[in-house]
Structure 1
């Protein structure tokens, strides 16, 4: 570890760490992933920890984005697990986040959601609840909001109450995942880059708790007004406002109304853009088409960037690989589990199951399952690592925060 960090933060070895080569090769380094650190002696106070985390965060004197924390992330697979912290409450975590964000022109800034279907309830400044999907629900590996052209650069998790049983947070290197899949199924990574991925995103008309989504369509973080005003009175005007924001979101990914769909040097996902369908009950489904490979902004390596794992798992369990992708639930009603698709010009294409099987194999093989204790903080570089949530029993309170760094974004991998 860099000397200035090692003065206070000491690396630890934990059973859940994975010995990992990001890129396979005889001369490539082996790291313990994720990096686990804690103060070299028990932290005397929260103020001490805030001071020390601030020392490795962005500084006003930094000439570029490479703060000590940024270098630490790059050298260790993009994930750092801070342990032994005297943090107990959401407010403690909030104070830690402000220090972690740093100062100066390269300081992190809070991420602003657009088109978000997941309900996240505020607990403190910059602090939100994690996905409210039921404890029995496995949330598969994903880069945070990879379904959208607008996604955070960093995800920071905090343990307020550790799970009684299960409930580990899994992390997998997106860079290593690209390396493995490029060598085994090059057609898969080429399709992710040139064709792009398709996601059907359901939005409830109003907020619904206790489900995987449920944010409510007309919130500012979804597709509602952003100026603090209420949605228009008429259904027609409300829907027009939502549709304008969907188009604006698609434009953030490079699509626009006058794009030349015959220009094959432009990726299919970009030529196709977004679609949407209103439901009779006022709910909305938005179809996103986005790239599935992005270049890491500081390491300049390609990274798998997707949210296909849960979709793959659902299709596998319910055997819904063929249209119309429906299955019978235990109660006799009909369900739908749409498998991962590539974008296509005439119609979108189901990704070969054999390719998805290899992705799933390597996600299981590369995983490190984080064990939580009160006060732990997990910092994840969203362009370097995917994360997942295993099922649990009892109480579990893991809080989340999302941040960006000015000038840093994972651009789609060039395909032409």
Structure 2
């Protein structure tokens, strides 16, 4: 069942998407400022060009997708396919690029082709989800922080050339140095990076403390049990493409991550895509994910309003 209560839905009634967005920009901006999300439904559109016109109307200055974690294709200027994982896979809740040194403040999703079945994009208010994470787990994660460990070039996951959009090791070194990312080359074509980051941040506009990290998506427990065991056997505990530990390098217990995942499950809001839907969200107020699906689902995404980790203070710890 769709859960649109509390989400501003603007009905376009067949009007062309780009002109509708420009004409209703004040209402869209107001909805995103107040609730962090707006859905434009029922517009007429033909594809990437109409989406880009809508992005222009929204005032987007599309960002490059750097320090990538998932495979995507760029299909227009600053317009990407959503994560190209197999249709049978569920993508857990996450805020875009919350593992990175910089991330988009706003996202826009456009549904070119809805799935035959499934394929919804659940979204979750990451301030409210804090209320459902067990207090002791939250205190521990905030106090100890997180350590993202990523390994590229093993033949599983992204190659470093794709992740950093360059074939120059020197360019990678400059990116890592500028972005506060530790790196090493265990072998000539294999790269390992480490980033230490907090579990929560303060939202730049609302001043609210928000859950902002990739714990649920990057932790080993997000993998199917058989695949997890196979990858650990092949590459070792520290060699998986993506992983997240406590800031001091200790492993985060599966049970703690399961409790966080359950909090997201309780708070998630779901809606099924309809053709030409346009969803605009505040990336630091709402996480997103993807259900498994059948059919030819095609959802495009663009990112805007760069925020860097240096700009965002950690919240004071709460007892």
Residue 198 (structure 2) aligns with = 291
Contact 1:33 1:368 in 2 (8 A): no
TM-score (norm 1): 0.67
1:370 partner SS: coil
In structure 2, the residue matched to 1:16 is 2
1:162 corresponds to: 114
1:319 offset after TM fit, Å?
A: 8.6
Whole-Å separation in 1 of the counterparts to 2:246 and 2:49: 42
1:329-340 superposed matches below 5 A: 340=244
Higher relative contact order (CA 8 A, sep 6+): 2
Distance 2:30 2:282 in 1: 11
Matched, 1:379 2:280: yes
Alignment partners' CA distance in 2, 1:202 and 1:157 = 29
Consecutive unaligned residues of structure 1, counting only runs of 5 or more, are 1-14, 19-31, 57-67, 102-107, 225-230, 232-237, 251-273, 321-325
CA distance, structure 1, for counterparts of residue 6 and residue 250 of structure 2: 35
Match of 1:217 among 148, 151, 160: 160
Asked if structure 1 preserves the Cα contact closer than 8 Å seen for 2:95 and 2:284, the reply is yes
Distance 1:204-1:160 versus aligned 2 partners, 3 A rule: farther
In the alignment, which residue of structure 1 is the partner of 2:138?
A: 189
- For the pair 1:412 / 2:275, whether they are aligned, the reply is no
* TM-score of the aligned structures, taking structure 2 as reference length: 0.85
CA distance, structure 2, for counterparts of residue 354 and residue 175 of structure 1: 22
Aligned pair count reads 313
**In the alignment, which residue of structure 2 is the partner of 1:396?**
297
Distance change (3 Å), C-alpha of 1:243 and 1:406: closer
Superposed CA offset, 1:48-69 (max 9, x none): 414313x41xxxxxxxxxxx54
Q: Distance in 2 between matches of 1:317 and 1:116?
A: 22
Partner-residue secondary structure (3-state), 2:103: coil
Q: Please report the RMSD computed on the Cα atoms of aligned residues, expressed in angstroms.
A: 3.1
Q: Could you tell me which residue of structure 2 aligns to residue 37 of structure 1?
A: 10
Q: Is 1:52 equivalent to 2:23 in the alignment?
A: yes
Matched residues in 1 for 2:300 and 2:9: separation? Answer: 19
Is 1:343 the counterpart of 2:244? The answer is no
Task: From 152, 157, 160, give the equivalent of 1:203.
Answer: 152
1:231-290 CA distance string (max 9 Å, x none): 5xxxxxx4344223211111xxxxxxxxxxxxxxxxxxxxxxx43342546132212211
Residue pair 2:16, 2:45 contacting (<8 A) in 1 also: no
Which residue in the other structure is 2:93 paired with? Answer: 141
Change (3 A) 1:407 1:114: closer
Whichever structure has more helix as a proportion of its residues is 2
Which is further off, 160-169 or 125-134? 125-134
Matching residue of 1:72: 31
Larger strand percent: 2
**Which residue, out of 309, 315, 327, partners 2:216?**
309
Residues 132 and 290 (structure 1 numbering): CA distance in 2 closer, same or farther, change over 3 Å?
Answer: same
Q: 1:46: how far off?
A: 4.2
CA contact (8 A) 1:295 1:412 kept: yes
Greater CA radius of gyration, 1 or 2?
Answer: 1
Distance 2:144 2:302 in 1: 31
